[in-house]
Structure 1
Amino acid sequence: MKGLILSGGHGTRLRPITYSQQKQLIPVANKPILFYCIEDLINAGIHDIAIIVGPNKEQVIETVQSVEWNAKIAFICQDLPRGLAHAVKISEDFVKTDNFIMYLGDNLLKGGSVDFIRDFADSKVDASLLLTEVEDPRQYGVALVDEQKKIIVKLVEKPKNPPSNLSIVGIYGLTPRIFEAIDNIKPSWRGELEITDALHWLIENGYNVRYGMVQGWWKDTGRTEDILEANRLILDQIGTENSGIVESGTITGQVKIGKNTIIKGNSIIIGPVIIGHDCVISGSTIGPYTSIGDSSHIIESHISDSIVMEGGRIDHVDRVSDSLIGKNVTLKKQEPSKEGKSFVLGDGSQVTL
């Protein structure tokens, strides 16, 4: 079986971060979201993977190739966002006659998809979808299922009157029959080839489309609040590891500290927190639920429920919370204030308060 990860799109809901970063490379607990997807497929025994790239393709390729993976990884370029089914269509030469898993590269799944993939491999069905219950199914692709036969009987994209509360998660088990389905659908009103339409064509033409249910949590990291929530969920599982130097301060809870990082000035670290390599934390309170990227300097500041990407410098800023702060951002304060502040700052920003 092969793996197909989608890592294209413009990520407009995550601007200004995505003006300079591909959204699937945004770090959660100091690891690009895309890496969780790759690791999940490898853990399921899939070692032949292609990644669909679009905008910032060089950035994606360079980042992925910076790691030695236990897998063969190829890259397929999609010139423009033309829909998920189009991304599948252009991968036909890669897939050939093999079954494959399509994985949206901005999805995070507690416990991964190993059980779902094994079930798909054993079931011999034509396609299999991972579903989860949602509060407002009008925002998603929705499935109507036959619980006894464990099959999907109908799929609807963002319906006004949903037939169920079961949303399609961005992990699909597919066979080469999907290419026939894609050849028989037309672009939607958005001008894109929708994977939901292709799967519905399979159902209408008598093919067997199975489903599995998410066990635990699932996050589609398409918005800032989703990324921060995913960061909190993953930090809850990080454990404790200290490879740095604690000159002075207190550390409580689950905290991971990278190599050559110095904690000093009676800093307070309240887990769960992850701090990368080559950082300086001085006279600051960090946490809970905070990720600090490599080579960051946090001086006399208080940061919680936030992601600070690599190269950040936060100087004398109180009560930064619920923030997504890009690479090499400088955030400093000249005037004292007791008010809490929330930021979404793109790479290279410089802000003085």
Structure 2
Amino acid sequence: MKAVVLAAGEGTRLRPLTEDKPKGMVEIDGKPILTHCFEQLAELGASELLVVVGYQKEVIIEHYGDEFAGIPITYTHQREQAGLAHALLTVEEHIDDDFMLILGDNVFEANLADVVDRQREDRADAAFLVEEVPMEEADRYGVCDTNDYGEVTDVIEKPDEPPTNLVLTGFYTFTPAIFHACHLVQPSARGEYELSEAVDLLLRSGRTIDAVRMDGWRIDVGYPEDRDEAERRLQDARGALDGDGEDEASANAVDTE
């Protein structure tokens, strides 16, 4: 399964961290956000990385070249910041089967494999990793509603009055049907071609979208404090793993006295 990584953003809210680099190249725990994304997609068995670049694209291209951990990389260029649906259309000619999509400014320690498995097993038209957030924060995200079967029934981008606190996390799987929907999307009030609108068109055409509840955590790195929080969590997770290793080594040690 191919993987699309959206990495064209400028990251104005992350300044000064993005004054000389795109936000996907901001380092967290010693490596760029994109490297964290690529590593996880490699673990999920990605056959090719389709990376959508834009702002200071040369920094990304020069850093990664044409492959990552043996996985070929193809770059496409989003020439204007016109929304996620607009960005996704830049890879259309490279996709002919189910694919993964990850937002390149998110850091995950979560059950991404469950989303991929759901796509393969159910042959849904899409599967989304979703999480519950405090109700007062839901208006910052794409909000979704589900039915009793765990299928998405509605998606609203940053609503003034969210109907639920279940939000999209930035990891998805799709069939190529999403591209036709993206072509039909009209600019939103903020002048962007929203991915949530394309998803709504899929739903209205009778397509099935499964919601997979997140087990773990993710950080949408939009501000410097988000970067700091993601770094803290990754370091805590690594420390916990190191501690488990030390405990196991101690338990298996032979007392020679």
Given the two structures, how large is their TM-score scaled by the length of structure 1?
0.65
Residue number in structure 2 paired with 1:199: 199
Q: Kindly indicate whether residue 174 of structure 2 is the aligned counterpart of residue 174 of structure 1.
A: yes
Q: Distance in 2 between matches of 1:66 and 1:22?
A: 18
Contact 1:40 1:114 in 2 (8 A): no
Spell out the pairing of 1:81-230 with structure 2 (5 A cutoff): 81-95=81-95, 97-111=96-110, 113-135=112-134, 136-146=137-147, 148-230=148-230
Shift of 1:194: 0.4
Residue number in structure 2 paired with 1:63: 63
Spell out the pairing of 1:299-338 with structure 2 (5 A cutoff): none
Query: Could you say which structure has the greater relative contact order, defined with CA pairs below 8 angstroms and 6 or more residues apart?
Result: 2
SS at the partner of 1:171?
A: strand
Quick one: which amino acid aligns to residue 69 of structure 1? Answer: A
SS at the partner of 2:190?
A: coil
Shift of 1:183: 1.9
The structure whose Rg is larger is 1
Q: Distance in 2 between matches of 1:112 and 1:64?
A: 26
What 5-or-longer segments of structure 2 have no aligned partner? 244-257
> Following TM superposition, where does structure 1 have runs of at least 4 consecutive aligned residues deviating by more than 3 angstroms?
none
Shift of 1:237: 2.3
Over residues 120-145 of structure 1, what are the superposed CA-to-partner deviations in whole Å (9 max), with x where a residue is unaligned?
22210111111111112111110011
Contact 1:40 1:112 in 2 (8 A): no
What 5-or-longer segments of structure 1 have no aligned partner? 241-252, 255-353
* Identical positions, percent: 35
Shift of 1:32: 0.8
Q: Distance in 2 between matches of 1:134 and 1:151?
A: 19
Given the two structures, how large is their TM-score scaled by the length of structure 2?
0.89
Contact 1:41 1:47 in 2 (8 A): no
Q: Distance in 1 between matches of 2:125 and 2:89?
A: 16
Contact 1:47 1:70 in 2 (8 A): no
Contact 2:4 2:101 in 1 (8 A): yes
Q: Distance in 2 between matches of 1:86 and 1:71?
A: 25
Quick one: which amino acid aligns to residue 85 of structure 1? Answer: A
Contact 1:42 1:70 in 2 (8 A): no
Shift of 1:239: 4.3
Higher strand share: 1
Spell out the pairing of 1:221-260 with structure 2 (5 A cutoff): 221-239=221-239
